[in-house]
């Protein structure tokens, strides 16, 4: 019994069909499908109210996961804190440059 080594290596990782195509080809095919649906009259288009409801529903689903929301808040806080530190250092750096210029002139 011979073992198929190429199949063993790529098990669960090989891309076939649509996934194996490059992004440009995928976009072209998907675009044709969308155009055909519009021509046929079966394409769905969101109105603003329907889109609002869908977004609200998604937001409610995400916010139920407390760990996920805590991680988002933590990441935002860290980002804001690092931006504040960078701004403070920038301000301090500009002030010290002006101070050194004044002392050199004297």
Tens digit of pLDDT for each residue in 61-94?
A: 888 899 999 999 999 999 888 888 888 888 876 6
* Residue 4, pLDDT above cutoff 70: no
pLDDT tens-digit readout, 16-28: 998 899 999 999 9
pTM, rounded to two decimals: 0.34
**Using an 8 Å Cβ cutoff, are 18 and 26 in contact?**
yes
- The domains of the chain are located at 66-106
SS3 83: helix
Q: DSSP labels for 36-78?
A: HHHHHT------HHHHHHHHHHHHHHHHT-HHHHHHHHHHHHH
Residues 6+ apart with CB under 8 A from 37: 43
What CA–CA distance (Å, rounded) separates 44 from 38? 8
Q: What local confidence, expressed as pLDDT, does residue 95 receive? A: 56
The more confidently predicted of residues 5 and 92 is: 92
């Amino acid at each position: 019994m011979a073992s198929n080594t190429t199949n063993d290596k790529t098990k669960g990782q090989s891309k076939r069909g649509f996934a194996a195509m490059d992004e440009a080809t995928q976009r072209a095919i998907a675009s044709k499908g969308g155009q055909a649906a519009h021509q046929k009259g079966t394409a769905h288009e969101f109105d603003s109210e329907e889109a609002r409801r869908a977004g609200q529903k998604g937001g409610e689903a995400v916010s139920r996961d407390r760990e996920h929301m805590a991680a988002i808040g933590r990441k935002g806080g860290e980002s804001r804190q690092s931006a504040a530190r960078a701004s403070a250092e920038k301000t301090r750096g500009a002030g010290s440059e002006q101070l050194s210029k004044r002392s050199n002139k004297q």
